[in-house]
Chain A
Amino acid sequence: DAGITQSPRHKVTETGTPVTLRCHQTENHRYMYWYRQDPGHGLRLIHYSYGVKDTDKGEVSDGYSVSRSKTEDFLLTLESATSSQTSVYFCAISEGGLAGSYNEQFFGPGTRLTVL
């Protein structure tokens, strides 16, 4: 498996509290992604990064923010968690992002977040 870790692996929090999830890679890949996975919805892209300090929104970005101050770390923040953000969150990395540029994605182990 690619060198990707996520922390924490499990978290239970209360509505209205801020939450930060961390993704760390040792592969020096340029692209990093945050997805959420919910039953019946598959994998949905929240935000992604194409370099240090370079980020963009995905399909379901409302209520989430991200930061990437170093190549190896990509943080996902829920400013004020809601019950609808209860989900499994996956981080992924790829060398390239555009088609034909080594863009296969390698996923981390996931973080299970429960918002009560």
Chain B
Amino acid sequence: GQQVMQIPQYQHVQEGEDFTTYCNSSTTLSNIQWYKQRPGGHPVFLIQLVKSGEVKKQKRLTFQFGEAKKNSSLHITATQTTDVGTYFCAGQEGGADGLTFGKGTHLIIQP
């Protein structure tokens, strides 16, 4: 079945440094979504990417979908303490119901 790998598992950064998490699928995806989960909270939808090579920005967050639609990345510029949490990618194959989630990247920020 479809597998979605996400790296790194943990990332420690100093506040103000940049952060990137990467997602790779074993199969070609129809779309990929990103979610954020704060400590003790529930996952919250951030964005969906659909087109090959697509790039979307949300303030300090930049999301990319690879040309082959098998990989994606989330980049945060100048991290802030409010960015703490776990970031999940979730991929979907065409014709399939639902998403396959990566295991997430835990972002830890040191002030």
Chain A residue numbers with a CB within 8 Å of B31 are: 99-100, 103
**In the complex with contacts A31-B97, A48-B97, A99-B31, A41-B103 CB distance below 8 A:** yes
Is the Cβ of B97 less than 8 Å from the Cβ of A98?
A: yes
Indicate whether B88 reaches chain A with its CB closer than 8 angstroms.
yes
Considering the complex, which residues of chain A in the window 34-89 have a beta carbon less than 8 Å from any beta carbon of chain B?
35, 40-45, 48, 50, 56, 58-59
Which residues of B are interface residues toward A (Cβ below 8 A)?
1, 6, 30-31, 33, 35, 41-45, 48, 50, 88, 90, 92-104
In angstroms, Cα B98 to Cα A105, docked, is 9
**In the complex with contacts A99-B92, A100-B30, A109-B99 CB distance below 8 A:** no
Select which of B1, B48, B88, B97 is within 8 A of A50 by beta carbon.
B97
Is the Cβ of B94 less than 8 Å from the Cβ of A97?
A: no
Is the Cβ of B44 less than 8 Å from the Cβ of A107?
A: yes
Q: Can you list 30 pairs linking A and B with CB atoms under 8 Å apart? A: A31-B98, A33-B98, A35-B101, A40-B103, A42-B88, A42-B102, A43-B43, A43-B88, A43-B90, A45-B100, A50-B97, A59-B1, A90-B42, A90-B43, A97-B98, A98-B95, A98-B97, A99-B31, A99-B50, A99-B92, A99-B93, A99-B95, A100-B50, A103-B31, A103-B92, A104-B33, A105-B33, A105-B43, A106-B45, A108-B42
Chain B residue numbers with a CB within 8 Å of A105 are: 33, 35, 43, 45, 90, 99
Chain B residue numbers with a CB within 8 Å of A35 are: 101
Which residues of A are interface residues toward B (Cβ below 8 A)?
31, 33, 35, 40-45, 48, 50, 56, 58-59, 90, 92, 97-100, 103-110
Other contacts beyond A98-B97, A103-B31: 6, CB < 8 A: A31-B97, A42-B103, A43-B104, A59-B1, A90-B42, A99-B30
Cβ distance A56 to chain B, nearest Cβ, rounded Å: 7
Is the Cβ of A43 less than 8 Å from the Cβ of B97?
A: no
Select which of A48, A58, A107 is within 8 A of B42 by beta carbon.
A107
Residue of chain B at shortest CB distance from A94: B98
The 10 closest A-B pairs by CB, nearest first: A99-B30, A42-B103, A97-B97, A107-B42, A43-B101, A104-B45, A107-B43, A99-B92, A42-B104, A99-B31
